[in-house]
Structure 1
Amino acid sequence: MSDLLARHRAVIPNWVGLYYGQPIEIVSGKGCRVTDAQGRGYLDFFAGILTNMLGYDVAEVREAVERQISTGVVHTSTLYLIRSQVELAEKIARLSNIPDAKVFFTNSGSEANETALAAALVARNANQVLAMRGSYHGRTFGTVAITGNVSWKASSNDPFGTHYLHGADRQLPQYRDLTDTQLIDACVADLRALLSAGIHPADVGALIAEPVQGVGGFTMAPDGLFKAYKEVLDEHGILLISDEVQTGWGRTGAHFWGIQAHGVVPDMMTFAKGLANGFAIGGVVGRGDLLDSIRGNGISTFGGNPIATTAANATLDYVLSHDLQHNAAVTGEIIISGLKEAATALNTIGEVRGRGLMFAVDLVDPATKQPSPQLAGKALEAARERGLLIGKGGLFGATLRMAPPLTLSEAEAREGLGLLTDALRAVDGEAAKA
Structure 2
Amino acid sequence: MTHDSPTLHSRHRAVLPSWLSLYYERPLEITHGEGRYVWDAEGNRYLDFFGGILTTMTAHALPEVTKAVSEQAGRIIHTSTLYLSRPMVDLAERIAALSGIPDARVFFTTSGTEANDAALLLATTHRRSNQILAMRNSYHGRSFSSIGITGNASWSPTSLSPLQTLYVHGGVRSRGPYAHLGDGEYIAACVADLEDMLDQTAGGVAALIAEPIQGVGGFTAPPDGLYAAFREVLARRGILWISDEVQTGWGRTGEHFWGWQAHADNGPPDLLTFAKGIGNGMSIGGVVARAEVMDSLSANSISTFGGSPVTMAAGLANLNYLLEHDLQGNARRVGGLLIERLRAITARLDVVREVRGRGLMIGVEMVRPGTDERSPEAANLALEAARERGLLIGKGGQGGASLRIAPPMSLNVAEAEEGAELLAEALQEAQVKSTAS
* TM-score interval (norm. to shorter): over 0.9
Alignment of 1:126 with 2:129, yes or no, is yes
Which letter maps to 2:299? G
Moved more, 80-89 or 360-369: 360-369
> Partner of 2:320 in structure 1?
317
Q: Name which of 79, 83, 86 aligns with 1:80.
A: 83
> Partner of 2:45 in structure 1?
41
Which runs of 5 or more residues in structure 1 are unaligned?
none
Measured in 2, the distance between the counterparts of 1:122 and 1:368 equals: 47
Report the Cα offset of residue 231 of structure 1: 0.2
Measured in 2, the distance between the counterparts of 1:31 and 1:293 equals: 43
Alignment of 1:270 with 2:273, yes or no, is yes
| 1:67 aligned counterpart, secondary structure | helix
| 2:398 aligned counterpart, secondary structure | coil
> Partner of 1:231 in structure 2?
232
Q: Name which of 283, 286, 291 aligns with 2:289.
A: 286
Structure 1's 236 and 173: CA in aligned 2 closer, same or farther, altered over 3 A? Answer: closer
Report the Cα offset of residue 431 of structure 1: 3.0
> Partner of 2:359 in structure 1?
356
Q: Name which of 156, 159, 163 aligns with 2:159.
A: 156
Report the Cα offset of residue 207 of structure 1: 0.3
Which letter maps to 1:42? Y
Which letter maps to 2:366? L
Report the Cα offset of residue 170 of structure 1: 3.3
> Partner of 1:52 in structure 2?
56
Report the Cα offset of residue 169 of structure 1: 3.0
| 2:298 aligned counterpart, secondary structure | coil
Report the Cα offset of residue 154 of structure 1: 2.1
1:313-348 alpha-carbon deviations (Å, 9 max, x no partner) = 001111100000000001111110011111111111
Q: After the TM superposition, which parts of structure 1 deviate over 4 Å for at least 4 consecutive aligned residues? A: none
Report the Cα offset of residue 174 of structure 1: 2.3
Report the Cα offset of residue 55 of structure 1: 1.8
Contact 2:213–2:259 (CA under 8 A) maintained in structure 1: yes
Q: Name which of 62, 65, 70 aligns with 1:61.
A: 65
Which letter maps to 1:13? P
Contact 2:50–2:394 (CA under 8 A) maintained in structure 1: yes
Alignment of 1:422 with 2:425, yes or no, is yes
Q: Name which of 95, 99, 115 aligns with 2:98.
A: 95
Contact 2:138–2:217 (CA under 8 A) maintained in structure 1: yes
Contact 2:173–2:223 (CA under 8 A) maintained in structure 1: no
Report the Cα offset of residue 430 of structure 1: 3.0
Aligned residues: 431
Measured in 1, the distance between the counterparts of 2:324 and 2:223 equals: 31
Which runs of 5 or more residues in structure 2 are unaligned?
none
> Partner of 2:14 in structure 1?
10
Measured in 2, the distance between the counterparts of 1:76 and 1:53 equals: 27
Q: Name which of 360, 378, 397 aligns with 2:381.
A: 378
> Partner of 1:246 in structure 2?
247
Q: Name which of 322, 326, 345 aligns with 1:342.
A: 345
Alignment of 1:399 with 2:402, yes or no, is yes
Which letter maps to 1:119? L
| 2:107 aligned counterpart, secondary structure | strand
Aligned pairs for 1:21-32 within 5 A = 21-32=25-36
Contact 2:218–2:396 (CA under 8 A) maintained in structure 1: yes
| 2:193 aligned counterpart, secondary structure | helix
1:269-317 alpha-carbon deviations (Å, 9 max, x no partner) = 0000111110101000110110011120000000000011000000111
Tell me the C-alpha RMSD between the 2 structures: 1.0
Alignment of 1:206 with 2:210, yes or no, is no
Measured in 2, the distance between the counterparts of 1:195 and 1:414 equals: 48
Report the Cα offset of residue 173 of structure 1: 4.8
Which letter maps to 1:32? R
Measured in 2, the distance between the counterparts of 1:136 and 1:433 equals: 34
Contact 2:244–2:272 (CA under 8 A) maintained in structure 1: yes
Measured in 1, the distance between the counterparts of 2:372 and 2:161 equals: 35
Moved more, 424-433 or 301-310: 424-433
